[in-house]
Structure 1
Amino acid sequence: MEPRARVGKNRGQQNFSDRELDSFLYAFGDVHTPLEGTRKVLDELLTDFVTEICFEAARSATLAGRQKVKLDDIKFTCRKNPKYLGKIQDTLDKKSEIDKAKKLVDMNDDKITKSDVKGLEEELGDGDDDDEKVTLGGRSSKK
C-alpha cells in the first residue's frame, strides 16, 4: 500500500492534543478556548502539512540512495520556502546554544577527581601569608 493511502485510514482522528492546539491558536491571536471546529480544522491542516513534508523528505532520501530521512532531506524539501527554511535554521541554532550551555553546566558535578583538584590549586605568593592571630575556643592560633 502506498504511504499516502495509509494516511487516509487515520482521517477523523485527532493527532494533536487540545491543549497544544489551543496554545497554538492563542499564540496567533485566537481566544483562550477556541471552537471545536476550529481545533479540528487546525489539527487536520497540521497533520497534512507534517505528512507531506515527511513524504517529500523520504522521497529525496530515496533518490539519494538512503532508507533513513536526515535533517538535510527536510531542509531540501523546504528549500523553495525561505520562511520554513529560516525557521528550521533558527531552531537548529537555538538547539546548539542549549547544548553548549548544558556542556558548561554539568549536572553531575558532585564528584571532584584528583585532576580537577590539581587544576583548582593555585600557587601561593608572599602576600598570601597572614600573621593575624585568631582566638578559637580559648586557644590562640595563627589564621
Structure 2
Amino acid sequence: MSTKRKRMFSKELKHMMYGFGDVREPLHESIDLLEELVFEFIQEMTLKAAQVSNKRGKFQTEDLVFLVRKDPKKYYRVIELLRMNEELKKAKKAFDETNVEEEENV
C-alpha cells in the first residue's frame, strides 16, 4: 500500500478468502492487496455515483444501481441486497411495534 490507513475489511476479506479455498490464515500481504483493491473499487464507484448524482443534486442508492446496470452479476446482487435491507427494516419495525404493545400491556 502506498499510504498507511486503518484496515477496514481485513477480517471480512480473511473469511472470504478462506471460504473461496485459501488457507485459514492467509498472508497479510494478500489481505493488504485485496483490501487495497476493494478500497479503490469503492472509492471509484462512489466518485462515479457522485458525478451521476450531481445532475439531481442528491446522492441516492439508485445512482449506484445505475452504475452497475450493465454488469448482471453486480446488478442482481445489488438488487438482492437492497431487497434484503428492506425486509430487515420491515421486520425490525414489526418487532419494535410488538415490543411497544407488550410494554403497554404490562
Q: TM-score range by the shorter chain?
A: 0.7 to 0.9
Q: CA offset at residue 13 of structure 1? A: 2.7
Which one has the bigger strand percentage?
A: 1
Greater relative contact order, per chain length (Cα 8 Å cut-off, separation 6+) = 2
Which one has the bigger helix percentage?
A: 2
The reply on whether 1:83 has 2:83 as its aligned counterpart is no
> Taking structure 1 as the reference length, what is the TM-score of the superposition?
0.63
The reply on whether 1:21 has 2:13 as its aligned counterpart is yes
Displaced runs of 4 or more, over 6 A: none
Deviations 1:53-85 (A, max 9, x none): 1011001011x231x311011111111111111
The reply on whether 1:31 has 2:19 as its aligned counterpart is no
Structure 2 gaps of 5+ residues are: none
Which structure's CA Rg is the greater one? 1
Counting only pairs closer than 5 Å after superposition, residues 48-59 of structure 1 correspond to structure 2 as 48-59=40-51
Cα distance in 2 between the residues matched to 1:11 and 1:60:
28
RMSD: 2.0
Amino acid at match of 1:29: G
Aligned partner (choices 53, 56, 71) of residue 65 of structure 1: 56
Aligned partner (choices 105, 108, 112) of residue 105 of structure 2: 112
The reply on whether 1:40 has 2:11 as its aligned counterpart is no
Cα distance in 1 between the residues matched to 2:23 and 2:51:
39
Structure 1 gaps of 5+ residues are: 1-9, 114-143
Counting only pairs closer than 5 Å after superposition, residues 117-132 of structure 1 correspond to structure 2 as none
Amino acid at match of 1:38: S
**What is the count of residue pairs matched by the alignment?**
102
> Taking structure 2 as the reference length, what is the TM-score of the superposition?
0.82
Aligned partner (choices 77, 81, 86) of residue 96 of structure 1: 86
Q: Is the alpha carbon distance of 1:22 and 1:28 closer, same or farther for their aligned partners in structure 2, counting shifts above 3 Å?
A: same
Cα distance in 1 between the residues matched to 2:81 and 2:7:
23
